[in-house]
Amino acid sequence: MATDRNPERAQGGLSSLDRGLRVLTFVQDRGQVDVAEIAAGLDIPLSTAYRYVQRLKRSGFLVEVGDRLLPGERLTDRSSDHPDHLVDVARPMLVRLREATGLTAALSVRVHGAALCLASRRSGTGSVAFHPGQVHTLYSGASATPLLAMAPAAVRRQVIEGRLHRYTAATPDAAQLRRELELIRRQGYHVTRGWLTPGMSAVGVPVVVGGRCLCALSLVAADNALADPAVPLRLLPLLRQAAGELAARLPRDLPAAWVPPDAVSEGTDEQQDPASE
C-alpha cells in the first residue's frame, strides 16, 4: 500500500506545492505584503513563510521592493499571447530619444504595486538605477511616478498609505508624494531629482492607450545635465512625441497580458489621457 512520505503533507495536510501556491495567491490578492503578514494570514510559522518566500524569490515569482514583497515578472509575462513584445514596439523610440538627447532612455511598466524596467538605452554617463529586468517602487523617480499617478485609486492609496522607503534625503514622504501625483495627473509629466539615486535626475511621461496607462517613457541623467529647469521642458516635446508614436503603434484593444493586472476601470477620471486635460 502506498504511503505519503512527504513530512509536510503528513503533518499539515498540505504539500510544498500547495503551500507555495497559497503564498503566491496571498501576495497576488493583496498586491504587496511583508513576510509577517503572510505568516499571519496563512496561519503558518514565520520561519516557514520565510523559507517559501526565499524559494519564490529565487524562482522569480516574487520580488522584494524596499521591505515589501510583490508578484514577480514571471507572473505577468507580457510576451506570451502576442507576437510583438512591447519592448520590440518601443525600441525605435528609445533609440531615437537617446540619440536626440544624449541621455539614457527607459521604458517601464507597472506590475501591481511596483515598477519594472522593461528596456533602456544607456548614454554611458551617470549611475542609472533603472536597468532592464529590475524592479523598483512606484515612487522611485520619474521613470516610475507617471505609472503610479495614472494607476487606479486603490493602487495609489496602497502605496501612499504604506511604508515609504527613504532612498535619499530627497525621497518624498506621503504628503509630498500625494501632491506630486496630483501634479503629474494635471500636467502629464514629472521631473524628479535624487529621489532614488543621489546625483541623478529624470523626466518621465505616461503612455496611455485605450484610456489606460500602459507604460512610461523617461530620460535619465546626472543632475548637472538637467540642473537648468528649462532643460526638462525642452525635452518634453521629444518625450511626448515618442509616447504618442508608441501609443499609435499599439492596438487599441490591448492583449490582456500587456495590461497591468489590476488596471480595471474605476471611472473616467482614473485613467484619463493627460494630453486631453
Number of Cβ within a 10 Å radius of residue 29: 10
Give the highest mean pLDDT range of 9-18, 97-106, 133-142, 248-257: 97-106
Alpha carbons 110 and 138: distance in angstroms, whole number = 8
Q: Which region, left, alpha or beta, applies to residue 267 given φ > 0 means left and ψ of -120 to 50 means alpha?
A: left
Residues 6+ apart with CB under 8 A from 231: 225
Q: What is the pTM for the complete model shown? A: 0.73
Residues 26 and 68 in one domain: yes
Residues 132 and 192 in one domain: yes
Residues 129 and 71 in one domain: no
Residues 129 and 40 in one domain: no
Q: Is residue 262 part of a domain?
A: no
Q: Which of 75, 107, 123 is the last residue of a domain?
A: 75
Number of Cβ within a 10 Å radius of residue 133: 10
Residues 31 and 97 in one domain: no
Confidence of residue 113 (pLDDT cuts 50, 70, 90): confident
Of the listed ranges 8-17, 23-32, 36-45, the one predicted with least confidence: 8-17
Residues 139 and 60 in one domain: no
Of the listed ranges 2-16, 64-78, 119-133, 188-202, the one predicted with least confidence: 2-16
Q: Which three cell numbers stand for residue 42?
A: 496563512
Domains held by the chain: number: 2
Residues 119 and 226 in one domain: yes
Query: In which domain, by residue range, is 18 found?
Result: 14-75
Reply yes or no on whether the pLDDT at 135 is more than 90.
no
If you count them, how many residues does the chain have? 277
Confidence of residue 6 (pLDDT cuts 50, 70, 90): very low
Alpha carbons 239 and 218: distance in angstroms, whole number = 7
Q: Which of 75, 95, 113 is the last residue of a domain?
A: 75
Question: Is residue 68 classed exposed, middle or buried when 0-12, 13-18 and 19+ CB atoms within 10 A define those classes?
Answer: buried
Report the pLDDT value the prediction gives residue 260, as an integer from 0 to 100: 66
Residues 133 and 227 in one domain: yes
Residues 92 and 206 in one domain: yes
